[in-house]
Structure 1
Amino acid sequence: IEDNADKKIREDQPPSKKIALIETICIDPGHGGSDLGAVGKSKVQEKDITLKVSKKLKQLIVSRLGLRVVTTREKDTEVSLNSRVSIANNQKAQIFISIHVNSSFRKSARGSETFYVSLKATDREALLLSQKENKSFEEIDKITEDDELKMILWDMAQNEYIKESSKLASYIQDELNILLHTVNRGVKQAPFRVLMRAAMPAVLVEIAFLSNPYEAQKLQDNAFLDKVADAIYTGISKYIYYHNSTYGHE
């Protein structure tokens, strides 16, 4: 029987890169439970939108690609960052997609953006967004200085997946831009904790701004959420084709 301490040490080790055909995808609906995420003027909550999109995305992947999909939550429950990433790592997912909805003190801010990890943010706005997302997890996970050091080590390990994460983010962002006809805020990098600990290519998608009155209305429209899921699905499928074509014979 494996000793718990040994198991913990093993789980805390940064990932080693293994190339294989993609068979399992992990979808992470942001927030949940008492962690509401962004809240719109009409009281619509980010946690509900991310769950709806994630369920739609899962259905598309399973029905069209026949791949195995695991999710970090299936209902309105609070899930810690450590648990979210552990689900992806323990289930040996080869892609990690975290779904979120954006917000800003500027009501005019709008559009979609897709992130992959780096300790250095693309710009100040990206840094502030990652700090806001990380804060809710800090309260659940009780981040310590030792954990901060581990994050740096995990970031170094994630560097092995930077090329793939960048490709995945680009494919998804391109499709969001094509299908949603919203402002294209581009592909960016930021120190999102949930991405640092992932032992696979990992991205975080910010669909639109709940703080923008026009986009908040869109985010409550089921047809719009269908388009969001379809855009992310198409981006994933293009990445899978690229990945399997590139690495499938190694």
Structure 2
Amino acid sequence: MLLDVGNFRRLRFLTIWVAGLLSFACAVMTLALQTSSSTQQPATGAVSQPATTAPAGQSATSTPQPSAPGLQTSPGGLNVVVLDAAHGGTDTGARGTGGIQESDLTLEFAAAAERALEQQGFQVLQTRQGNNNPSFDDRSAIANAQRAAVFITLHVASTGIPGTVRVYVNSDLPPVTLANGFIPWDRAQAPYLGLSRKLGDLVQGMLTQQFKGSPDAAQTATIRQLRTTAAPAIAVEVSSVLVNDRADLDHMAPGVADAIARGVAAFKPLYVTASTGGALP
């Protein structure tokens, strides 16, 4: 059977036209779907993070936690005094009539000195505040840990003229520096002996004004508590536990405290910080 060429051509044209129309329609639908999808989905990599809402009354930024309270020291300036009430615990120290114990009296004198020093603007640390007995090294370590401090150990003697007070500084200690540049623990006082003498003389002068018959200048002695202290350090010794009435010693506490505070205040301009193993002026 022979084909009708005219009809075939018309049919072929119609088929091509319909196919083109369908292709165009498909293209339009595909473009519409892609456009709709792009408006509904976020772009890759732009992931939204949930906003962090701070509680009412607080800032959204983190607030640093406050540090534990501590002593604030001025660089190169003296403002800390470490008071050492000697003895304590089972070590009662000197004992007098009527049950007087040195360890009890030194706590009383230390408390009075603390109040007087604070009135002069100093910050005070005490090596003990109860009936305990820290080791010599523990007491020294409190002063050695401070950047700018002096150390005062308080004693009540069983000798001496009652109603008088003496100040001691440690005997000479030749400076020794180890190969690593450190000073041996038992020679810690050596670089500070010059400053200790100045502090001792000033405090002794104030005490002599208050308590007649006391020496005019600080004396030297070998004192275990001072030897391991890396700061200007003195011992203050009140006489004596042999008084008949403890009230006589109690009445001395304010005067001793005032003299210590005024002596330390007078020493403050002379204070310098040790930076080498050599002796300080």
TM interval, shorter chain, is: 0.5 to 0.7
| Structure 1 residue 89 corresponds to structure 2 residue 144 | yes
Q: Deviations over 1:70-122 (max 9, x none)?
A: 11001121211111111111234520000111113xx86773211111268xx
Identity rate of aligned residues, in percent? Answer: 30
| Structure 1 residue 236 corresponds to structure 2 residue 264 | yes
Tell me which amino acid in the other structure corresponds to 1:23.
N
Q: 1:111 to 1:216 in 2, by over 3 A?
A: farther
| Structure 1 residue 189 corresponds to structure 2 residue 199 | no
1:13-52 equivalences under 5 Å are: 20-52=76-108
Q: Secondary structure at the match of 1:184?
A: coil
Among 156, 174, 177, the residue aligned to 2:208? 177
Do the aligned residues in 2 keep the contact of 1:32 with 1:47 (CA within 8 Å)? Answer: yes
Tell me which amino acid in the other structure corresponds to 2:237.
E
Do the aligned residues in 1 keep the contact of 2:200 with 2:217 (CA within 8 Å)? Answer: no
| Structure 1 residue 227 corresponds to structure 2 residue 280 | no
CA offset at residue 215 of structure 1? 8.4
Q: 1:215 to 1:162 in 2, by over 3 A?
A: farther
Structure number with larger C-alpha Rg? 2
Structure 2 CA distance, aligned partners of 1:239 and 1:214?
A: 35
Q: Deviations over 1:50-84 (max 9, x none)?
A: 1111111111212331x221110011212111111
Q: 1:100 to 1:108 in 2, by over 3 A?
A: closer
Q: Deviations over 1:97-154 (max 9, x none)?
A: 00111113xx86773211111268xxxxxxxxxxxxxxxxxxxxxxxxxxxxxxx945
Do the aligned residues in 2 keep the contact of 1:114 with 1:188 (CA within 8 Å)? Answer: yes
Moved more, 152-161 or 192-201: 152-161
Q: Secondary structure at the match of 2:133?
A: coil
Structure 2 CA distance, aligned partners of 1:77 and 1:155?
A: 23
Q: Give the root-mean-square deviation of aligned CA atoms.
A: 2.5
Structure 1 CA distance, aligned partners of 2:170 and 2:185?
A: 10
Q: 1:163 to 1:59 in 2, by over 3 A?
A: same
Bigger helix fraction: 1
| Structure 1 residue 59 corresponds to structure 2 residue 87 | no
* 2:276 alignment partner in structure 1: none
Structure 2 CA distance, aligned partners of 1:37 and 1:82?
A: 18
Q: 1:195 to 1:215 in 2, by over 3 A?
A: farther
Q: Secondary structure at the match of 1:170?
A: helix
| Structure 1 residue 78 corresponds to structure 2 residue 113 | no
Do the aligned residues in 1 keep the contact of 2:207 with 2:214 (CA within 8 Å)? Answer: no
Q: 1:227 to 1:174 in 2, by over 3 A?
A: same
Q: TM-score, normalised by structure 2?
A: 0.61
Q: Deviations over 1:13-35 (max 9, x none)?
A: xxxxxx92102111101111111
1:86-165 equivalences under 5 Å are: 86-104=141-159, 111-118=164-171, 153-154=184-185, 156-165=187-196
Do the aligned residues in 1 keep the contact of 2:120 with 2:265 (CA within 8 Å)? Answer: no
What are the ranges of 5 or more consecutive residues in structure 1 without an aligned counterpart?
Answer: 1-18, 121-151, 245-250
Tell me which amino acid in the other structure corresponds to 1:209.
S
Q: Runs (4+) of structure 1 moved beyond 3 Å?
A: 107-110, 152-157, 214-217
Do the aligned residues in 2 keep the contact of 1:25 with 1:70 (CA within 8 Å)? Answer: yes
Moved more, 160-169 or 180-189: 180-189
Structure 1 CA distance, aligned partners of 2:187 and 2:141?
A: 18
What are the ranges of 5 or more consecutive residues in structure 2 without an aligned counterpart?
Answer: 1-74, 174-182, 273-281
Structure 1 CA distance, aligned partners of 2:113 and 2:191?
A: 27
* 1:218 alignment partner in structure 2: 248
Q: TM-score, normalised by structure 1?
A: 0.68
